[in-house]
Structures are given as structure tokens and as C-alpha cells.
Structure 1
Amino acid sequence: MPESLPDILLRHTKGQPEQGAYATAVDGLTILRSDHPKPPTYRVSRPGLCVVAQGAKWAAFGDDRLEYRAGQALLIGVETPSIGRVVEASPDRPCLVLMIELDVALLRGVAEDMAPPPRASAKPCRGVFVTDFQGALADCVLRLARLLDTPRAIPPLLPGILREMCYWLLAGPHAGDVARIALAGSPTRPVVDAMQHLRERFREPVRIAELAALARMSASAFHRQFKALTSLTPLQYQKRLRLMEARRLMIVHACHVETAAFEVGYESPSQFNREYARLFGAPPKRDVVRSRATFAGDPAERKKDGASAARAVMGHLSREGLR
């Protein structure tokens, strides 16, 4: 009997000296394994498909919390701050997730080849949503996972499988939302471009009028579409980027609280402390001590350093694993 997706992911992680994120021979494909429920992780999620093969997780974007479990996938269409947590896992049945990085340009190219082309949703859509993982899309991802057993087959077969995956996303139940995120002529694309501008300059004071002008929208329309995509206002989005970067500076580079606050654009230490505690559940110094203790107690993470340590602590997605 052919192996199932959980079987494949379990086999590729079983017996390895640590649990967590496992890079694979397929660029942009990462296996996440957790043998126990974990505390929340804070990350800036990039476009990707997070397929739960076993167990359960939740992810929060702004005030919206999305739960997804075996048989479901989280589709992330825009780069946005998030909080995630493994909630169902045990040594006998670990939580197994296959993370697939999405190439928005490839999605766009596949959409242009479809006849008739997919139609973008007429109303502002969410940039992140949960979808059932079944049928042709599930078969496509299973074949992608099977490539791990035959590395020589990856170069000739991977491009076709990724294109097929994009097709099923554009032809599936959320096709309108996927098209609105991906298509060049979609009303959402200018908002995504302005969002990138905000990420590149998150340390600077944000001016909604400037971002709206970049998107060629009124300030009210831009604000409405931005929040629909990310579940955050532009100011909330910027604040989370600042706080997550400050946390990284303190944990990984041992920056003092005031130095980290200044580096990310805060002028008031007291405001920084208040907003930090509101997001992470503790004042900066206490949170850093707690996070370092967690890091030091994990033998897998003690082996990592530099940028890898930053990824481990911050939980960011990257091509190698959690960035």
C-alpha cells in the first residue's frame, strides 16, 4: 500500500537528533515536527501553504485566530506578522506539517495560461485562510513529498508539480481570493506593493496618506483593503514588525532594552515597554530571560547559532525552515 503523507513526513524526521524544522532537498519545502504542544511563536509569515498531515495548530493574524488540523491547510498569500502554536501533538502522534513556499510570480504565470483565466474576487479578501486539503491538490502535494526519496528526480519533476499545485489553488474553492492576491491587475496588488514599502521602512514614522498614494487609493479605501488582507491596520502591522525585530535584537544579539527600542524606531522607552508586554505577555527583560531559558533548554537549538538561532527563537519562516 502506498505511503500516506504522515507516513512520509514521519519517516523523514524519525530518528533525527532533534525536533523542529527540517530542511529538505527540495528548495522551499520544510517539514515541521512537534512531539509536544508548544508555546506561541511569533513570526512574519511569507506566502506559503502549511499542510497539516497530523496533529493541530492555530495561527493568529491580528484579532483573527485560525485553527487547522489534519486534512486542512493554511494558505498565506501575503507577508504578514502572525502568532502560531502547536496545540495537538504527542510522542506517539507528533504534529507533522509540510511547509511549501509559494511563488506568487509562478501563480501569476499559471493564471495567465488558464482558459478562461481565473476571476479575482470582487470584494476585499483575506490574505490568509484555511482550506480543506483533499482531491487533486492533496495528490499533488503527496507527489511533492515523495520526491524526497528520489533526489535525482527533483530537478526535472519539481517545476511541473509546483505549477500543478498553483493550478489547483487557482481552480479550487478559494480561487477568487487566490487570484485577487496573485494577479497583476487585481485591486489587491497595489496594496501588497505598498505593504512591501512599509516593511522596508518600518523603523520610520508611517504616513497612511503616503502608502495610499503608492497604492493609488484614497486613505479610507487603502486602510479598509489593508486590514482585510492582514487583519491588522497599517499602524498595527508596523508596530508588530518593530516589536518582533526588537525582540530578535535582545534575544539573539543581547541588545539592551533601550537600545533595541531605539533601533526599531521607538522614541519613548515607556511606550515600548507597554506595547511589548501587550504583545508578548511580559515586559521585555522578563520575556527575554524566559525565551533564553527555553532556548538553552532545547538541545536542538543549542546547536544553532547566528541567523539560525534567530530563526529558532523568533519562529520566522525562511527557505531553510523557520525564519
Structure 2
Amino acid sequence: MHALDALRDAVSRHLSRSPDSGPCLTGIDGVVLMRAQAERHPTHLVHQPAICMVLQGAKWTAFGEQRQEYRAGQARIVNVTVPGSSQVVEGDNHAPYLSLVVVFDQAILSEVYEKLAGVITPCTGAPVPAFAIDLNAQLLDCARRIVDLLDQPLAADILFPGLMRELCYLLLSGPRGDVLAGQIVSTQRNQKLMQVLQALRVRYAQSQSLEALADMAGMSISAFHRSFKALTGMTPLDYQKKVRLMEARRLMITERVSAEATAYAVGYASASQFSRDYARMFGLPPRQDINKLTGISQHV
């Protein structure tokens, strides 16, 4: 059996136990299975550094102005925690979109890079938030063995770290390993910039000036702005705005907070500005969007 077919069958077998579409969390932290049909509207979330292997169908993902489409036999590698949008564009009842996401263990990824540092020449170009690769038989086989561990909880605790190490090795030693290595080096050199990203995610409701953020990063304003956009695909203020709006959507769906109260809770000074930004990002004003997502009639 072809390696792609074997992995797709293994993922399908596990997903058959759950009738719902969408992400399926597993017993292994950071391993997520996905089944979906073509979507009418993009999905918005904060992406963690991970590999997303497409096993059936096709999807696009966008970070800022950078948009990529990838399909069965390809994978998207995300280098940095960043808000983004994505949309399944190929998948139906007969052949749904299927994918496997494995979130990177950053400590293992760095450890493997250090062992390969004399072999790999990191890319010296500007870092990118994500890039696509073609999946080879070795990567597919490693991923299948990760999925096989989902039926073996005790074995997973013992064997998964080794498979994570193998996955990192295969990616770093592969055709685009220099790009991933370049991102690792950039992250190690720019710990303060990583701290800015963390601060924007945690303190998203607080106003942040470019001057204060640049000072936190230890850079001039122009250098900080340039470095931040190269790393994430968007400006610092756009990054914070996307995180704010995603948190706002979560509050309204899961905690039933009103749109006006949510606007102030996530840091907006104006409910009308919040509504405009929300509609620009999600396609509908807050109340209409939440009613649609929760199945509540707009006439209630």
C-alpha cells in the first residue's frame, strides 16, 4: 500500500469513531485529526508551530498577506505562533478533507537542529510564518506510526518523544530543512521578539504602542516593525487585533457575553469600531455571526 494511502486509512479509521466534522483532539497532546467538507467561509484561529499533513482534499491558509494552498500529499509547516485564517476548498461527503496536525515539541526540535548544525546551512533570508512541502514516504511512514500509537496509550507515553525526534530530523534533513533551520536560528537570536508575541497574545486587551513594543524587543521602531512583519506576515497592531477578535468570538459563543460587553472586555473603546472590525474579519456583524454559528434564528 502507498504510504499516503496507509496514513489516510489510519486517520479515517480513528475519525470513524467520531461522527462530528472538524478538529478531533486525541490522547496524544498536540496530535489532532481533521475531517471536513468544503467550507463557505474561512476559519480563524491562532496557529501554533506545527506540521499539517493533508491526506485528502485541499485547503488554503493565510497569515497576513501571505496565502498558500496545499492538497493531498503536501503539508504546511508553521514556524511561529500566529493568528491566521484557513478554508477547506476541496472535500465532500464521499471524499472529505482529511489532515493530521502534529504540534512541534520546541525543545526536541532545537535539540535535533543542534545535532545537525554542522550539516545543515540555515536559510539566511527573511523568516516566513509558514511554508509548504511535499510529503515523502519517510515522513508519511513516521506520521502513520504516530497515529498507530493512538490505540496504545501506555506505548504512546514511551514512544511518542522518539517519533517526534524522528519527525524533526526528517524535516530538518529534507529539501526545505534550511528554511526550518533558519527559523530556529532566528527564534534563538530573537528571544525578545518572541516575548513580544507572547505579550500581545496574553495582554491583547491592553493598548500597546509601537514604541513600547520596540523597546521590549530591544530594537528601533523601524527595525522592530520590519522584523515583526517578516516573522508573522502582519504588523504588530494587526496581530493584536486578530487575537482580540478571535477571543471576542470565543467569549460570545462559549460564555454568551453580549457584543457590547465583549467589545470593552477585549480592549475596544468603541462598540461600533469593534462591530466594523469584526464584520471585516468574519464577514458578518457580531450578533449575526454568533447567531449563525450557534444556530439561533435572527428573528428570535
User: Taking structure 2 as the reference length, what is the TM-score of the superposition?
Assistant: 0.90
**What does 1:250-289 align with in structure 2 at a 5 Å threshold?**
250-289=252-291
Contact residue 62 and residue 231 of structure 1 kept, 8 A: yes
In structure 1, what is the Cα distance between the partners aligned to 2:248 and 2:125? 35
Does 1:206 find its partner at 2:202?
no
- CA deviation vs aligned residue, 1:65-91 (integer Å, no higher than 9, x gap): 211110111111111111111111122
SS at match of 2:33: strand
Does 1:124 find its partner at 2:126?
yes
* 1:173 partner amino acid: P
Counterpart of 1:311 in structure 2 is: none
* 1:228 partner amino acid: A
Counterpart of 2:196 in structure 1 is: 194
Which of 23, 26, 42 is 1:24 aligned to? 26
Contact residue 37 and residue 88 of structure 2 kept, 8 A: no
- CA deviation vs aligned residue, 1:133-171 (integer Å, no higher than 9, x gap): 114323322222232344443233211111011112222
Contact residue 180 and residue 187 of structure 1 kept, 8 A: no
Contact residue 257 and residue 285 of structure 1 kept, 8 A: yes
Counterpart of 1:309 in structure 2 is: none
Does 1:99 find its partner at 2:101?
yes
- 1:35 Cα shift? 4.2
Counterpart of 2:78 in structure 1 is: 76
Flag structure 1 segments of 5+ consecutive residues without an equivalent.
Answer: 296-323
Fraction of identical pairs, as percent: 42
Counterpart of 1:86 in structure 2 is: 88
* 1:90 partner amino acid: D
- 1:16 Cα shift? 3.1
- CA deviation vs aligned residue, 1:16-49 (integer Å, no higher than 9, x gap): 3323222223222111112454532111111111
Counterpart of 1:111 in structure 2 is: 113
* 1:267 partner amino acid: A
Relative contact order: is structure 1 or structure 2 higher (C-alpha 8 Å, sep ≥ 6)? 1
Aligned pairs, number: 295
Does 1:4 find its partner at 2:6?
yes
* 1:71 partner amino acid: G
- 1:187 Cα shift? 3.8
- 1:102 Cα shift? 0.8
* 1:254 partner amino acid: R
Counterpart of 1:58 in structure 2 is: 60
Counterpart of 2:240 in structure 1 is: 238
Flag structure 2 segments of 5+ consecutive residues without an equivalent.
Answer: none
- 1:232 Cα shift? 0.8
* 1:230 partner amino acid: T
In structure 1, what is the Cα distance between the partners aligned to 2:41 and 2:283? 12
* 1:73 partner amino acid: A
* 1:224 partner amino acid: R
SS at match of 1:130: strand
In structure 1, what is the Cα distance between the partners aligned to 2:220 and 2:176? 27
SS at match of 2:28: coil
Q: 1:133 to 1:251 in 2, by over 3 A?
A: same
* 1:139 partner amino acid: D
* 1:20 partner amino acid: G
- 1:185 Cα shift? 6.9
Contact residue 200 and residue 240 of structure 2 kept, 8 A: yes
Q: 1:48 to 1:118 in 2, by over 3 A?
A: same
Which of 19, 29, 35 is 1:33 aligned to? 35
